[in-house]
Structure 1
């Protein structure tokens, strides 16, 4: 699989782009320190000459110059480069946490339903059908504030960590079913194979059969589906912040940048450029990486 993947130039380039995004997110504090700016300081208040009377950058192209490479944020005067880096960091950490939880849940329930069958399969499958019947976007918007109130008094300001935990829980609750159904179907096809029967006759326990025989044989669909899930969670978390129910001011976030860009694009179109281009590049690269991983695992497929 690795040899086939290395011969796929699109896959290798996409993997390099994805690794670059993760590196930028992890190294955001280091880059911020070297750059000399941070995403929280309102430089427009420190230097009133940066913003005009309406709150927009005085200099052209969103205030881009040698001091602010990507310009400054309208109304607040924050540095766009560090805000974008920390926004990437926040979005990727949330999406990665949700993806790990969703994959683990799908493995436990999907493989258990496919191998054990009977009542286990019936209840787990009906539970998956029930959860997949929910309109996800409406569910996210409606239940995210409710989940947050379980941790803090609704009359108080919700801390950032509570918002992050709430987003992870809501996305996880409705994010594992597709992979769980895929793993259930793969397990149903594998449990009647000869090597499973041989392990069962030899006296192996169900847990050992699942762990040593079934799980290694479903790595391919699990890995491919995971590469599609993570960018989907990134865009969903950004959409929640864009709608005002996710992360809010002053936490740097991709969705919050899009929300502000939608307000100021008539007067400062430059502010939308950098987060928009970054989001498109990341999602396209991750989807192409998923296609390349699928082709590497199954050389008979044709893209």
Structure 2
């Protein structure tokens, strides 16, 4: 059997998804980035197990249990932020908590919020973007103007302004806001103001697809609009949807961290990436080590996820130039 015949035989029966997976596996950068991303998700998912194996509780103030770990100014007595065989990443200034446990649970919190927002934003973009592109007319006009209105908001400013307002819808503003209310408020605000870019992308892709022959053939055969959207349009917009989602998730991670850094997101005693950055900004002159581990973790995660998005895009469309 000739080499051309062997190649042809290998390609027979392969779906676009299988071909995409094969191209992705050949991309070493994409595979390594995917492994790094999976590692972060595994750390977040297994945070209680890691804490149990490590023997530290994220809420415990070790300075109260073992006097002498912090000096009179609230900083670790031992050099390099208190890093030793017992506290691998050192101790948190003032509170005396273990940095590694705080970081592990902070990754868990940030990834949960970002993943929830990404799923909600993607579903919203699918419903409104594809509906606007397929129906056209007044529906397209109203949805497009709604997207334009939301995109006109300066997101970062409105994130900070809307979070306290949303939180007051759940609890009395005179009472302390529970952690779950803060989490729900962050998810709602980021979701409402975070789906529009993907919605526009899906609308444009649907406008290009609805005039194609296979869609016209489905209309002639008597298929309902719901069936056409589900069977003909949705499978053909998976590529831009998945690629954009890989860019949205790390963006939501950094945005949620920024809100906690500014004091309107998660607060004490909930472990969070942004809250660790806020503490690091206060103590960097006296304890630079504390900022090192959460900063490196955030940079590695965001870079790995962005590289993964590039690899996924190239795997779906090998003709694009990186």
Report TM bin, short chain.
over 0.9
Look up the match of 1:151: 170
Cα deviation for residue 295 of structure 1 reads: 0.3
**Distance across 2 between alignment mates of 1:263 and 1:269:** 10
Cα deviation for residue 46 of structure 1 reads: 1.2
- Aligned pairs for 1:255-294 within 5 A: 255-294=274-313
**Distance across 2 between alignment mates of 1:214 and 1:4:** 24
> 2:51 aligned with 1:51, yes or no?
no
Look up the match of 1:13: 32
**Distance across 1 between alignment mates of 2:50 and 2:276:** 19
**Distance across 1 between alignment mates of 2:321 and 2:138:** 38
In structure 2, list runs of 5 or more residues that go unmatched.
1-19
Look up the match of 2:219: 200
Look up the match of 2:192: 173
SS at match of 2:191: helix
Cα deviation for residue 48 of structure 1 reads: 2.0
The higher radius of gyration belongs to 2
Look up the match of 2:149: 130
**Distance across 1 between alignment mates of 2:231 and 2:33:** 32
Q: Over residues 63-113 of structure 1, what are the superposed CA-to-partner deviations in whole Å (9 max), with x where a residue is unaligned?
A: 001110100100000000010000000000000000000000000000000
Look up the match of 1:236: 255
Q: Over residues 143-197 of structure 1, what are the superposed CA-to-partner deviations in whole Å (9 max), with x where a residue is unaligned?
A: 1000000000000000000000000000000100000000000000000000000
So what's the TM-score if we normalise by structure 2?
Answer: 0.94
So what's the TM-score if we normalise by structure 1?
Answer: 1.00
Look up the match of 1:22: 41
Instruction: Provide runs of 4+ in structure 1 moved above 4 Å.
Output: none
**Distance across 2 between alignment mates of 1:170 and 1:302:** 35
Look up the match of 2:201: 182
Cα deviation for residue 45 of structure 1 reads: 1.2
**Distance across 2 between alignment mates of 1:259 and 1:99:** 25
